[in-house]
Amino acid sequence: MSESRKGIGYSIPNDEDYGLLKLGPALDEAAGHGVDYVELPLYALELVANGRIMRDRLRRAKALTEGRPFGYTMHGPLGLNLMERPETLALHTDVLKATLEITAELGGVHYVAHAGTKLADDEANAEVRFAQQREVLAEMGPFAADHGITIAVENLFGGAERATLPSRLAQEIAAIGHPAVRACLDFSHAFLLSTHRGVNFLDEAGALAPYAKHLHVHDSFGKLTGPRFGYRAERLAYGAGDLHLPLGLGSIPWDALTERCRFPEGAIFINELAPPYWTDLAETLQRTREVAANAKIGEGRASG
């Protein structure tokens, strides 16, 4: 791995019943894959209650994570939305602060925060909400920097008409202007939203890439909708949704992406594989290594 590429890794399964009992075995397994980083699902470990850290559980988590042959990145709450109305923003901010503190305690180098989504009945105030999100993230920047953390704001696709395109997220990160607040480019999310909005996927990914110190690497077919599904296998049969497939099973143009995108120094490539494909983990990690090796690093702007 080149010095300019910080490393590759994967996120441990995001089972809703995930708990500290499963954390140890999952980290034991990761040690056998020779990865540089493991991404911990802070949204599933039950370390925060009503905005406050559960200190005893955090101590238990720290005991399980210490002494491993890899570093950590963290994925914050899936429900985080810094574009909520002011009356509900305080709790989102408290949860963000708590999980950032946990990231520092557990030695995480990157913290993935979902980008905010516009509220369906508040479209007229969209720019106010973007400004609100920028203010909170800028406020968190100094804490992150002091603890060696990069906050990586992730592009989404859910609520497709209200999600932020990668190109707009790039503008938001630039406007914040803090070196500890960067982006997480989720390739599948970008593919799904770009296709849905009828814009060029490679252009969108290329616009966010110079800010993306964190990459979520997994495959899909770029189709948001389909028939009514009862099972995940049906969604796969129709190629619908954010399937978190092994690289190459979907239709994301990986070679074109590595040609088009330029990522900042220290980029971390994290594979997000769905549990049904866990038997393919070793193979998809190798493909992730190939994507990382082919990626252009440090040649674009905004690589601070």
- Cα separation, 121 vs 162, in Å, equals 10
Q: Is residue 201 part of a domain?
A: yes
Q: Is residue 122 part of a domain?
A: yes
Q: Is residue 303 part of a domain?
A: no
Phi, psi (deg, nearest 5) at residue 18: -65, 145
Q: Is residue 304 part of a domain?
A: no
Containing structural domain, residue 109: 5-297
- The pLDDT score that the predictor gives to residue 2 is 44
Which among 158, 159, 162 has a CA at the least distance from the CA of 186? 158
- pTM of the model as a whole: 0.95
Q: Is residue 165 part of a domain?
A: yes
- Cα separation, 89 vs 119, in Å, equals 13
- Cα separation, 35 vs 64, in Å, equals 17
Q: How many domains, the chain? A: 1
Q: Is residue 113 part of a domain?
A: yes
Give per-10-residue mean pLDDT for the chain (304 aa): 71 75 93 97 95 97 97 97 93 98 98 94 89 98 98 93 95 98 98 97 98 98 88 94 96 97 97 95 96 85 47
- Quickly list DSSP for 25-40: HHHHHHHTTT-SEEEE
Position 197, amino acid: R
Phi, psi (deg, nearest 5) at residue 78: -70, -30
Q: Is residue 135 part of a domain?
A: yes
- The pLDDT score that the predictor gives to residue 304 is 43
Q: Is residue 180 part of a domain?
A: yes
- The pLDDT score that the predictor gives to residue 18 is 64
- The pLDDT score that the predictor gives to residue 120 is 81
- The pLDDT score that the predictor gives to residue 274 is 94
CB 114 within 8 A of CB 152: no
Position 89, amino acid: L
Residue 15: partners with Cβ closer than 8 Å, 6 or more residues away: 22, 44, 275
Question: Which CATH number do you get for residue 52?
Answer: 3.20.20.150
Which among 148, 143, 183, 147 has a CA at the least distance from the CA of 267? 183
Q: At 191, list the tokens.
A: 């593919």
- Cα separation, 290 vs 295, in Å, equals 9
The angle formed by the CA atoms of residues 43, 48 and 54, to the nearest 5 degrees, is 135
